[in-house]
Chains A and B, each alone.
Chain A
Amino acid sequence: MTNQQLEHIALLAEVDDLTARLQKWVDDDVNWDTAQRSRALVGRLLARVETLRFRLETPLVVATFGGTGTGKSTMVNALVGAEVSQTGRQRPTTTTPILLIHPDLEAESLGLDLSQFHVKVVDAPVLRDIVVIDCPDPDTSEGATDGSNLAILRSIVPHCDVLLYASTQQKYKNARVIDELADVASGCRLVFVQTHADLDSDIRDDWKNFLSPSYEVPEMFFVDSLKAWQEQLAHQKPSGDFGRLLDLLASELGTARRVEIRRANLIDLLQEALTVCHTNYQRDIPNIEGLMQALAEQRNQIRDTLTKQLCDELLVNRTLWERRLVSSVTDMWGFSPFSAVLRLYNGLGGLVASFTFFRARTSAQMALIGAMQGARWMKSRAKEQEAESTLERLSNFGISDQQLQESRLVISGHLHSSGIDYESSDDRRDLTDLRKRAASLEDEFLGDASRVIDEVIEKLAVASSHWVTRVRYDIAMMSYVVFLLLRIGYNFFWTSFLAPAFGQRPEAAPLLSVDFYIPALLFLVIWSLLLVSLFTWRLRRGLTQQVQQFATQMADSRLIHGLFPSLEATCRRITKDAERVSGLLDLTTSFRRSIADTSGGFLGGRRDTETSSA
């Protein structure tokens, strides 16, 4: 007994695990119509899990199902061996469902509304572990109006665990019965019985073929209820298929199988619900994909605009380029005469340029100043005019209000067809929010751009400070200085002093005067300037090409966020949610398959739609 209880608990734990996952999914709110509808559906089903727990101790409910005149009542009578349900040749015969229960069991504990049944207490062996309901037919009522057989049937079936599906040669393809079966079959195990074996031919093969696409059809029984009834009355064990059917009902639906069967039913229902959810997701997800694509396109458009704008400006701001380049070249160069000249040049230039930096209005200038300096600049600027500056820069830069408006127009179109409940601000015409977004987008973009520019500068600097270049420029620089030194030295040591002293010259030449030094210095400056400008010209030469490279490099980069970050986040959540639904469905399906073989070979059920299509 303890062992059995343990098994029950193990089974329940498995179900618990699945339902916990489902519950977690249901509790996760996603702002999307389809997701919410699906959650409502599964949430409703999960409530039934609790019922399953309560019903563990109650016997299985077995109900008859089938068209009128297929001998449901006769079969029930033959099963219990007593005339408990009126049979007849008038259609329909049974209108009030009859509930058969063993005297040892309590009808109240079944959780059924007993007022809608004729409750009959019958001491039949088959009823020891199950309760049998003889249901009315689904096919004489033309609509499910109150009190019609169909309405009664539909109110009972959800409480049943196993359906005894009876049919005949005339009725086995009856559309109404089949349709009704499709509605009720999930959540029930099925037992297929062809009745009227005394009169009709055996059509079980055709019947099986007919049902197989949508149902798991194990063994089918071909019974002669009348004969079985006679045998029961004569206190004989019913022979043939009926005897086997009786044995199976009596032995296979006992306490041990209750939880398994109920669990299988529940998993069936969950799987069906999840299949519906999955189908809905598959149907609606293309809209979300469309929206995501549109968002990505908008992002790319913005990136392209920014890149283009930035490149244009970069080409214009040559002075800034030069300054950055020169300073990084000199950093690399170390000490040498020419680099000293460059430093001097750059220092002077920097003094002038610093005015420009503080007036750096455009984003390109920002990017050029470099990430470090730019950040410092930003901080000081931001304190002064926080809101203004970004907007001002924006209006000077790439993203125009029109572009924002266009984006919004396109996105709202997609939004409309996607079914996302997206709260935009009250005043739809207001662009302030979008402008702020655009400004922060631009900052993000500029961050990337500065990094890329830094790299470009580094590269150019390295290329320009090759030792050959350095030596060449230094020699050129030094050659004039050396010439000057030689000239001055010759005059200072030789012509004005040593030569007269040694008598080589009749008289000492005068020392070089200011007249000499001024032009010499002038020529030094000119020579330096010439070399510097030659060098910077060299530096600038690769610029256009570099900027183009920069553009392609930026084009490969991706803006992480777009203009509608919360919408993007919602979309991502939805795609994730869709994957989650598929995952849950797979889980349920594999769970269902793993327990499918517990039905003992004679219980059928709805077929897993995925396996049948596969």
Chain B
Amino acid sequence: MTSTPDPQAAFRRVAEAIHRVFQGLHNLQERAELLQPPPLEGQEWYELLRQKLVPQLGGGGWLVAAVVGGTNIGKSVVFNHLAGCKASSSSPLASGTRHPVCLVPQGFSEGHDLQTIFPDFQLHEWSDASLALNTSDNHDLYWRAAPELPSTLLVLDTPDIDSDARVNWVRADAVRRSADILIAVLTQQKYNDAAVKEFFRKAAAEDKAVLIVFNQCLLPEDEAYWPVWVKTFCEETGVRPEAVYVAPNDRAAADQLALPFYERPWPVPENWGATEVSNVTRDLKADLSQLKFKEIRLRTLRGSLKEVLDPRSGLPAYLKSLQIASKDLAATSEKLSSEAVLKIRDWPTPHNSTFVEEIRDWWKSRQQGWAKKVNSFYDTLGAGVTWPFRKARDVIQGEPVPALDKYRELEWTAILTTIEELFDKLQWMADTGNRMVKPRIEEILQASTRTRLMETVRQKHAAINFEDEVKDVVASEMATFSEDSPELFRIYKQLHNVSAAVRPMTSVVLFSLGMGPAGETFAPVIADAAANAVVHVVTDVAGGTAAAVAGDTALSGAAASTSGMLQTWFHRLHSVFTQRRVDWLTGLIREELMGDLPEKIKQAADLPASEQFVAVSSSVTDLQSFVNQLQLPDVGEVAPQELS
């Protein structure tokens, strides 16, 4: 025993840390959604936190005792003996008791909120013993005041832990977590049942105080057996009972609340003989009242804390699993982002004449005075002279399809190809991606999604005014170009000499999380755009850098021929236009198809660095050290130094 810190203060600190953890967990769970962590509800450590630690840490000093055990072995009979009346109905048929019944000391409910003590149950005041038998789906709890109980002791009857009514198990587990003392009712048929063992193993891990009542014994024949039974039970579960009682198989006595409980020594003394058994009936309630409440309370709280903080099955394990899952996801998305690049090779460009016409219009709009007049005169003249020829051509060949309508057609083909490739890529991602990404992508891959996307894209595509698109591109490009180029007029003069431009090549990055080769390549783009952007477009002039270099030289000096410069300039025009179109498509895809998936993936991959994760894990670290301090004053426990 070293110097003992104030246990009250220590408990307060622990309670605060617990509350912090409890709050933080929900945020964390929400944030980790994509990692598909198992739901918090139903995990033992979380339920302990919620049902035991949060309501009881820092609360007043009361104790919860619960009668637990398998179905049809007399739990309710034992409970009724504790209550001194038929508070809970017993029946010869199995899994009768469906809802817990709680005996509350007189006046307890005024000073305490029962609802916070039993957060999972709907509380009802007890009126009839048969209430506990009703098979409603609600988790009900019936309570009644019991004046004869010690003022700090709540006693519960619980549903069974092994029948096929599995909802009973849930209720029994909830009661077990809240409880400090368990009155384990066992029989020779059930003491070694798997369900029973599992239940009490958890109770032992939480360091509950356990009183064993061996019911339905054939006395005196079973006097020789019960030590073996209890021994097996204790070895299998790790329970260290405070006391052991045996009760005979006497239905009449049980019905009249006159079942005798004989206390038996435990552990059994070495030279103890079955002959020297005492046949003094004990009053369970009185024995219960004489337990060291404060010690037990401390013990169970600490036991529960220990379970919550267990590195293998508790909160740290949960955090670790999140970390691993997140790392796994990060690795997968890195792989995805490095390979998920759609290369669009043959995105069409409108015919040069479209651009040429547009440039002429642009030019005209900027001309003034004399030049304008000359120009429009020649235009009109040209139109007049060529009219009969055009008319003749229309008759012979049919009216030509407007260039932009043709482009619209071509672009739709390109869009379809891109979407098809996109789905192939997504399919590949779903097949190679890990279990967290797969279901999300599968969702996207559903047939209905495809049809919907196609319809949306079709409608939006049909609504686009390509003339405006071309106008915008030409206007912006001409504006930047005219600022610093004296060659403008020469370009204008040569406009007709433009040959068909090489089609620009475009890459679409589907997933980019700033990782992997693709991520590096496009990092600047990402930095510019929103960090979570998923689809980025990089336009490149096909034919490699040579053309680009040639273009640079051509533009910077007069060394190259005008036509070469013009060619390069048209490349640029085409590139810009293509980029604009692909941007449009990818934006649409992102909006319609991907939704917030990339964002979610990124978030999940960065989880360990997130605020929520850090908050919880630091609280857990705090908690760990507080708990270690809490263990110091303990006499029976191993000192923390020795634990490590």
Chain A residues near B (Cβ < 8 Å):
67-70, 89-92, 139-142, 168-176, 178-179, 199, 201, 203, 206, 290-291, 294, 401-402, 405-406, 408-410, 412-414, 416-417, 428-429
Known A-B contacts A90-B232, A294-B447; A174 and B163 likewise in contact (beta carbons under 8 Å): yes
Q: How far is the CB of B444 from chain A (nearest CB, A)?
A: 10
Chain B residues closer than 8 Å to A91, beta-carbon distance? 188-193, 229, 232
B188 touches A169 (CB 8 A): no
Known A-B contacts A142-B198, A410-B451; A68 and B193 likewise in contact (beta carbons under 8 Å): yes
A170 touches B93 (CB 8 A): no
Known A-B contacts A203-B92, A410-B454; A174 and B162 likewise in contact (beta carbons under 8 Å): yes
Known A-B contacts A68-B189, A90-B228; A139 and B417 likewise in contact (beta carbons under 8 Å): no
A142 touches B197 (CB 8 A): yes
Would you list 30 pairs from A and B whose C-beta atoms are within 8 A, ordered by A residue?
A: A69-B189, A91-B191, A91-B192, A92-B192, A139-B194, A139-B195, A140-B192, A142-B194, A142-B197, A142-B198, A170-B94, A171-B189, A171-B190, A172-B94, A173-B71, A173-B72, A173-B164, A174-B70, A175-B162, A176-B195, A178-B164, A206-B93, A402-B416, A405-B413, A410-B454, A413-B445, A413-B448, A413-B451, A416-B447, A428-B424
B93 touches A414 (CB 8 A): no
Q: How far is the CA of A412 from the CA of B188 in the complex (A)?
A: 63
B194 touches A140 (CB 8 A): yes
Is there a chain A Cβ closer than 8 Å to B166's Cβ?
yes
B447 touches A413 (CB 8 A): yes
Q: Which of B92, B216, B409, B450 contacts A402 (CB 8 A)?
A: B409
Is there a chain A Cβ closer than 8 Å to B73's Cβ?
yes
Q: How far is the CA of A226 from the CA of B76 in the complex (A)?
A: 29
Is there a chain A Cβ closer than 8 Å to B362's Cβ?
no
Chain B residues closer than 8 Å to A413, beta-carbon distance? 423, 445-451
B189 touches A429 (CB 8 A): no
B94 touches A169 (CB 8 A): yes
Specify which of A68, A70, A409 lies most central, judged by the most chain B CB atoms within 10 Å of its CB: A409
A406 touches B416 (CB 8 A): yes
Q: Which of B166, B187, B445, B454 contacts A406 (CB 8 A)?
A: B454
Chain A residue with the shortest CB-CB distance to B420: A409
B420 touches A405 (CB 8 A): yes
Q: How far is the CB of A308 from chain B (nearest CB, A)?
A: 17
Chain A residues closer than 8 Å to B92, beta-carbon distance? 169, 201, 203
Q: How far is the CA of A414 from the CA of B445 in the complex (A)?
A: 9
- 7 closest A-B pairs by beta carbon, nearest first, are A69-B189, A413-B450, A413-B447, A91-B192, A173-B94, A414-B447, A405-B416
Chain B residues closer than 8 Å to A203, beta-carbon distance? 92-94
Q: How far is the CA of A290 from the CA of B446 in the complex (A)?
A: 11
Q: How far is the CB of B72 from chain A (nearest CB, A)?
A: 5
A89 touches B197 (CB 8 A): no
Counting contact residues on chain B (CB < 8 A from A), the size range is 35 or more
Q: Scoring B residues 66 to 109 as 1 if CB is less than 8 Å from chain A, else 0, what string do you get?
A: 00001111000000000000000000111100000000000000
Chain B residue with the shortest CB-CB distance to A90: B228
Q: Which of A89, A139, A170 contacts B73 (CB 8 A)?
A: A170
A173 touches B225 (CB 8 A): no
Chain B residue with the shortest CB-CB distance to A141: B194
Q: How far is the CB of A109 from chain B (nearest CB, A)?
A: 36
Known A-B contacts A173-B72, A410-B454; A402 and B225 likewise in contact (beta carbons under 8 Å): no
B192 touches A409 (CB 8 A): no
Chain B residues closer than 8 Å to A68, beta-carbon distance? 189, 192-193
Chain B residues closer than 8 Å to A414, beta-carbon distance? 447
Q: How far is the CB of A150 from chain B (nearest CB, A)?
A: 8
Chain B residues closer than 8 Å to A174, beta-carbon distance? 70-71, 162-164, 193, 195
Chain A residue with the shortest CB-CB distance to B70: A170
Q: Which of B72, B197, B229 contacts A169 (CB 8 A)?
A: B72
A206 touches B163 (CB 8 A): no
Q: How far is the CA of A278 from the CA of B350 in the complex (A)?
A: 56
A402 touches B163 (CB 8 A): no
Q: How far is the CB of A494 from chain B (nearest CB, A)?
A: 56
Is there a chain A Cβ closer than 8 Å to B412's Cβ?
yes
Chain A residues closer than 8 Å to B445, beta-carbon distance? 413, 416-417
Q: How far is the CB of B142 from chain A (nearest CB, A)?
A: 22
Q: Which of B93, B163, B222, B424 contacts A175 (CB 8 A)?
A: B163
Chain B residues closer than 8 Å to A172, beta-carbon distance? 94
Q: How far is the CB of A227 from chain B (nearest CB, A)?
A: 15
Q: Which of A140, A199, A405 contacts B417 (CB 8 A)?
A: A405
Chain A residues closer than 8 Å to B412, beta-carbon distance? 402
Q: How far is the CA of A203 from the CA of B187 in the complex (A)?
A: 18
Known A91-B229, A142-B197; further 18 A-B contacts with Cβ < 8 A: A67-B189, A68-B189, A68-B192, A70-B189, A89-B188, A90-B229, A142-B198, A170-B72, A174-B162, A176-B162, A408-B420, A410-B454, A412-B420, A413-B449, A416-B427, A416-B447, A417-B446, A429-B417
Q: How far is the CA of A81 from the CA of B188 in the complex (A)?
A: 25
Is there a chain A Cβ closer than 8 Å to B48's Cβ?
no
Q: How far is the CA of A90 from the CA of B165 in the complex (A)?
A: 27
A290 touches B447 (CB 8 A): yes
Q: How far is the CB of A222 from chain B (nearest CB, A)?
A: 13
Specify which of A174, A410, A428 lies most central, judged by the most chain B CB atoms within 10 Å of its CB: A174
Chain B residues closer than 8 Å to A201, beta-carbon distance? 92
Q: How far is the CB of B462 from chain A (nearest CB, A)?
A: 13
Chain A residues closer than 8 Å to B409, beta-carbon distance? 402
Chain B residue with the shortest CB-CB distance to A174: B162
Chain A residues closer than 8 Å to B193, beta-carbon distance? 67-68, 91, 139-140, 174, 176
Chain A residues closer than 8 Å to B284, beta-carbon distance? none
Q: How far is the CA of A414 from the CA of B423 in the complex (A)?
A: 12
Is there a chain A Cβ closer than 8 Å to B249's Cβ?
yes
Chain B residues closer than 8 Å to A401, beta-carbon distance? 413
Chain B residues closer than 8 Å to A67, beta-carbon distance? 189, 193
Q: How far is the CA of A142 from the CA of B164 in the complex (A)?
A: 16
Chain B residues closer than 8 Å to A168, beta-carbon distance? 189
Q: How far is the CA of A521 from the CA of B71 in the complex (A)?
A: 120
Chain A residues closer than 8 Å to B198, beta-carbon distance? 142
Known A-B contacts A405-B416, A428-B420; A170 and B190 likewise in contact (beta carbons under 8 Å): yes
Is there a chain A Cβ closer than 8 Å to B419's Cβ?
yes
Q: How far is the CA of A89 from the CA of B188 in the complex (A)?
A: 7
Q: How far is the CB of A414 from chain B (nearest CB, A)?
A: 4
Chain B residue with the shortest CB-CB distance to A172: B94
Q: How far is the CA of A243 from the CA of B163 in the complex (A)?
A: 31
Q: How far is the CA of A335 from the CA of B447 in the complex (A)?
A: 64
Chain B residues closer than 8 Å to A175, beta-carbon distance? 162-164, 166, 195
A173 touches B192 (CB 8 A): no
Q: How far is the CB of A562 from chain B (nearest CB, A)?
A: 16
Q: How far is the CA of A300 from the CA of B413 in the complex (A)?
A: 21
Q: How far is the CA of A428 from the CA of B424 in the complex (A)?
A: 9
Chain A residues closer than 8 Å to B232, beta-carbon distance? 90-91
B413 touches A412 (CB 8 A): no
Chain B residue with the shortest CB-CB distance to A297: B451
Specify which of A90, A91, A201, A417 lies most central, judged by the most chain B CB atoms within 10 Å of its CB: A91
Q: Scoring B residues 212 to 223 as 1 if CB is less than 8 Å from chain A, else 0, what string do you get?
A: 000010000010
Q: How far is the CB of B436 from chain A (nearest CB, A)?
A: 20
Specify which of B162, B165, B228, B421 lies most central, judged by the most chain A CB atoms within 10 Å of its CB: B162
Chain A residues closer than 8 Å to B187, beta-carbon distance? 170
Q: How far is the CA of A408 from the CA of B420 in the complex (A)?
A: 9
Chain A residues closer than 8 Å to B416, beta-carbon distance? 402, 405-406, 409
Q: How far is the CA of A171 from the CA of B71 in the complex (A)?
A: 8
